[in-house]
Every structure is written in structure tokens, then in C-alpha cells.
Structure 1
Amino acid sequence: MASDAYPLGHGIYQAVAPVRSDDLLSLADRCGDHWWGLGGSPVSWPSLSDETDSRGFLPDRPEPRTRRPRRPGVVTGDRAIRGRPETAMSPARSPSAPLYFTERGSGPPLLLVHGLMVTGEMFEPVIGHFAARHRVIVPDLRGHGRSRGLPPPYTPARLAADLSRLLDHLGIDSTAVLGYSQGGAIAQQLALDFPDRCDRLVLACTFAFNMATRREKIEGHLLPLVLRVVGMRLSAKLVFSRAASQLGTERADWLVGIMADQNRDLMVAAWKETMAFDSRRRLAEIACPTLVIAASNDRAVPIHHAQMLHDGVAGSQLIVIDDADHALIWTHSDEFERVTDDFLGA
């Protein structure tokens, strides 16, 4: 049975975890006059039939950073090396501060690209499996996690260019790329802007254009408001509390910690760029073998998005995982790993 939960991040929520759309609509309504107190002017809501790119975001306000304990060192090979600097891009390869990343395993390279409002840590449940056959590279995207110090813009084109420079630093000419949720948009951009970099592409629970419906547009405009009024930690608890029964309390708390640790203002800025992403007219340019993975009950990125990708990328494969939603990488890890392995090993 389809869940009535929506992960934060598509429409209003495209990152990773379920919360009902109606809950946040109600929350925004309860915020009432707080809209004015945050910025001195009302939010400009889009018309249901409006196809323009106009937005009414509230001005930025600083939010105290939330820090949570991190394991020291960087995962490389099969263990953490303690007392050594974090693995990072050489400043000589980047005009700005280095992009943080971790590595594990050996073999053909596999680049994992995380979604919005989380970090590369979201892949922890599956990294060990993939590292048995691959050299797995897991960056924190610009503005996220330990790459939060990198300045804007957070456009998909900029984030894809960061990944290309990271591959330069690692001496990797071409790699398999797996993008999850909003990370799938960045993976598409990498395949489009740097086609020689991507030899196989896995697009999981993602989209070509995530403002495709009226509800998605309204929800997309609500997200900055909710984050500003509620903050990252409370938003994360709201998001993942409804998923705890599927994820388990320990994993849900872990995901809350990842999301709560992100900077609210940076996430609002990154979300604005996510709203503007639209690869529909360029999907035919993706030439590498492509696998589209969808969840049958995903109401954050409904299956019509997967079908759009499948129809647009010539020769792509579409696999739908039954009885799964947007959290399938954690709730259906074995099946996710199996279909990915089958594709990468083909």
C-alpha cells in the first residue's frame, strides 16, 4: 500500500525522509504572522496554474550551527585512519577550498552522489557492499557537511564541475556514477557537461524536473518557509519521526543527526537551485548506459519522474522496486545493491 509520507525535498521535500505534505502545509498555516517577523514582507505564493520561475523566498537569517560528534579520520580501504588529515582535493586542483570526500575499496571506480540536506554519510549502509568490488568515492557536495565552507552558487552545473575536479585530483578519467534523489540531478549534469567522465549512470529515486505538478510547485515554495520558521533539527525530527517504523529508531535518529547538522541558510540556497533544475530537453544527450531505479510507493519522487527519465534517455533501463518508498536505500538495501550490481557488472 502506498504511504502518505513525503520525503523532505521533492515538491517540498527532496532529500531523503518521509513526512506528509499536508503536515507541513498545516505547519506553515500555524506559523501565521511569523512569516512577517522573519523578513518584514509576506511570502509571494505561486498561482496553481503559474508556469513561471518567480519565487517569494524570505530573506536569509543566520542560524546557529549544530554540531554532532564525528568519527575521527577518513575511511579509506576498510578502516578509519586516525590522526591523519581528512582526505580532500588538493588546493592546486581547485580555485577555492577543497571538496571533502572519503574512499573505500578498490577496483573500478564508483562515485556516489548524495541528496539535498544530507551528506555522503547517507550511503554508509551500502558502501561496504559496493567497496567489495569497487573503488568507492563519496564526496560531500558544496555547501553540505564538511564541504559547507565552499561558497555558492550551489547550481547543479557548479556541483558537477566540483565532481569533475575531484576526479582529476584522484587521477580518474571515467567512473560509474550513482546519484540518489537530488544527487541524481547532479549526476545527470555531470554526464551532460562532462560526458567522458561517466561510463555508467545510475539514477535512483530522482527526477529531470521536480516542479512538474501544481502540488510540487506549491510545496517547493513552502520549504524555505518551513526551514526558516522551524529550523533544521525540528524539521529533521518531523521528517524522520514518521519513517521510524520502517527505518527503525536507531537509523531514524542517525538520519535526523545528519540533516540537523546542515546549515539552514545554505540548504535554502541549495533548494532554490534544485527548483530551477530542468534536464528534460537534454536527456537525449546522455549517451552512457543508464539505469533508472524507482520505488513503487515513492510519493516524494512519484514514478512518473522515473518514467520521464527512462523515456528521455535512449536505451536506459527502468527497474521499479515493489513495496518501497523514497527511503528504499535503507529499507530495501539488499535489493538496491542487487539491481545496481547487475547493471554495473553487465
Structure 2
Amino acid sequence: MDSSFPIKTLQTTSSCFHYQDKGTGPALLLIHGSLCDLRYWRWQLPELAGHCRVIVPSLPHYWPQENAQTEFSVYQHARDMLHLLDALNIESAHVLGHSRGGSIAIQMALEQNDKVRSLILADPGIRTRQQESHANFKHEALLAIQEGKLDEGLAVFIDAVSGENTWKRMVRWFKQMVRDNANTLVLQQNEPAFYFDEAIFSALTLPVTLLGGSDSPAPFPQIIARLDSILPQAQSHVISPASHGMNLAMPHEFNRIILDHLIQQAFTN
């Protein structure tokens, strides 16, 4: 990790936050997904911070804070992120969520729409009742980890969301980050599901950019297509060649789309 972007610690009455904060201008909050933490955005923070204020937190329970006392759920993490914005005196922010972080970003907008200026959703991990069987891989991964087969279990999870043999191709720092957050799978297994609710989501009238990888496996392309059809201000982009970890595979293209989104919002607000 670039030492020029130190990890800051903020203790509030409700939680302890570890985050990076760089740049000036409109605030952009980056929310990581499952098994990740603030290190996931290593190719976004330096480039984006030249254009706006970038806030990159690790969600409570994730490295380096493994034993948070708060509830583990999309709903609690959305409240946590809203509390973080308040603690940093940020009136509103553009919010980018990847995978499970996409659900958190949406819940933030549903809970306090005045705090979220726009949404950027990269392969958002929203569950549908028709796709419940897809979540079985989480149980399989957790069983392997509990049996002491850490890398085997993590490979099951990563390959399910990014494509076969992705774990084998991952670089050392990414594998270490995932190992550091393996304990969160136990918590995630028991969290309340965040389901796709078309009636509620269609009420989101803020600008939304949807990002998908050309090789992202099901259900991500289907989720993006449904969101694109119901969100009144949605724009979709496909990054190629890339899968679920599109911000790592094609960082400059990913960052370009984010900056284009921010520029567009600056001209329309």
C-alpha cells in the first residue's frame, strides 16, 4: 500500500472507523465488497484523489478492525457509512459501491437520500428470491474454511463471483487481503438478506451509473439489466475485458468512467 495515503482512525460514539481520506473537492465514498477492505481501492485512490475528495473506509468487522461490536448487515453498514460522513462533516457524497458494497450504497440512499448525491454501482450484489440457489457457494466456502481449508474455501467464493480459476490467478497482496477478512464470511452467512425490491428501488430518482465486467458471471449482468430498466436516471457501462474485479483488471478505464460521472454531475447540479 502507498505510504503516502496513511490509514486514519476515527472513534465515534457508535463505532470505530479506519479509512483513507485524500484530495479536495466533491466527496466520493468508495465502499468495498465481501472479503475486501480499504486496500481493494489501491488503483483508484491515487488517480481519483487528483480530482475530488476520496474517502476509502474499511467497513466495521473488516481488516484492520476484526472484532467490531456492532451488528453485521447491509443495513448497519449503511448506517455506519452515513455516520462516517457526518463525523467527517461531509454534507453529501457521491457513493460508489462494489458487489456487496453496492447494496450498502443503495441502502444509504434509501435511508438518507439527502446524504447521497449520486450512486455508482459496480456489479452490485443484490439478492433476488429467484436466485437464492446461487448463494449456496457461500455455505460451501464457509464449510471449507471451518474445516481448516482456508485457501480452498476462499477459492470457492472468489471463483463463484469472478469466474473459474480466478483465485489461482490473483496476485499475492489480493490473496492476503482476502485471507485477512475470511472471518467475515461467518458473519455474512447469518446477515439478513438485502433483496431486490423493484417498487422501492424505482423510487430512487438520483443519478446512477451502473458498471459491469464483460466476463462477470451470473447473477451480476442480470442485476444490472434489471436496475437499468427501473432506475429513472441510470446509465450502464461494460468494462472489457474484465470480470467482477473490474477496477483491478482495468483500473484506468474504471477510473475514467467514475470521473466522467462526476464531471456530468458537476454540470447538472
The answer (yes or no) to whether the contact 1:292–1:306 under 8 Å persists in 2 is yes
TM-score, normalising length: structure 1: 0.68
- Cα distance in 1 for residues equivalent to 2:45 and 2:165: 25
Amino acid at match of 1:278: Y
Q: CA deviation at 1:269?
A: 1.2
Ranked by relative contact order (alpha carbons within 8 Å, sequence separation 6 or more), the top structure is: 1
Assess, with a 3 A threshold, how the Cα gap between structure 1 residues 256 and 246 changes in structure 2: closer, same or farther. closer
Once the two structures are superposed, what CA deviation does each residue of 1:209-235 show, in whole Å capped at 9, x if it has no partner?
A: 255426404334433323322454443
- Cα distance in 2 for residues equivalent to 1:234 and 1:104: 36
- Cα distance in 1 for residues equivalent to 2:149 and 2:181: 10
Q: Secondary structure at the match of 1:213?
A: helix
Tell me the residue number matched to 1:88: 9
Assess, with a 3 A threshold, how the Cα gap between structure 1 residues 336 and 216 changes in structure 2: closer, same or farther. same
Amino acid at match of 1:243: T
Question: Equivalent residues in 2 for 1:184-199 (5 A)?
Answer: 184-199=102-117
Q: Secondary structure at the match of 1:146?
A: coil
The answer (yes or no) to whether the contact 2:18–2:57 under 8 Å persists in 1 is yes
TM-score, normalising length: structure 2: 0.86
Q: CA deviation at 1:244?
A: 6.8
- Cα distance in 1 for residues equivalent to 2:252 and 2:11: 35
How many equivalent residue pairs? 258
Tell me the residue number matched to 1:105: 23
Q: CA deviation at 1:148?
A: 2.2
The answer (yes or no) to whether the contact 1:164–1:197 under 8 Å persists in 2 is yes
- Cα distance in 1 for residues equivalent to 2:11 and 2:105: 22
Amino acid at match of 1:173: E
- Cα distance in 2 for residues equivalent to 1:270 and 1:217: 11
Once the two structures are superposed, what CA deviation does each residue of 1:167-197 show, in whole Å capped at 9, x if it has no partner?
A: 1110001000000111101111111111111
Question: Equivalent residues in 2 for 1:188-267 (5 A)?
Answer: 188-209=106-127, 212-213=130-131, 215-236=133-154, 239=158, 242-243=165-166, 252-264=171-183, 266-267=184-185
The answer (yes or no) to whether the contact 2:139–2:189 under 8 Å persists in 1 is no
Q: Secondary structure at the match of 2:8?
A: coil
Q: Secondary structure at the match of 2:10?
A: coil
Amino acid at match of 1:193: E
- Cα distance in 2 for residues equivalent to 1:136 and 1:283: 26
Assess, with a 3 A threshold, how the Cα gap between structure 1 residues 312 and 272 changes in structure 2: closer, same or farther. farther
Q: Which runs of 5+ in 2 are unaligned?
A: 265-269
Tell me the residue number matched to 2:222: 304
Q: CA deviation at 1:146?
A: 2.0
Question: Equivalent residues in 2 for 1:3-82 (5 A)?
Answer: 79-80=4-5
- Cα distance in 2 for residues equivalent to 1:214 and 1:161: 26
Once the two structures are superposed, what CA deviation does each residue of 1:273-310 show, in whole Å capped at 9, x if it has no partner?
A: 27x11142421122211011111210154311111121
1:178 to 78, 96, 114: 96
The answer (yes or no) to whether the contact 1:205–1:301 under 8 Å persists in 2 is no
Amino acid at match of 2:121: L
Q: Does 1:162 align with 2:85?
A: no
Q: Secondary structure at the match of 1:216?
A: helix
Q: Does 1:277 align with 2:161?
A: no
Per mean C-alpha deviation after superposition, the further-off stretch among 191-200 and 233-242 is: 233-242
Once the two structures are superposed, what CA deviation does each residue of 1:129-183 show, in whole Å capped at 9, x if it has no partner?
A: 1101011101111111123221242111110111111111100010000001111
Structure 1 or 2, whichever has the larger Rg, is 1
Question: Equivalent residues in 2 for 1:285-296 (5 A)?
Answer: 285-296=203-214
Q: Which runs of 5+ in 1 are unaligned?
A: 1-70
Q: CA RMSD in A?
A: 2.5
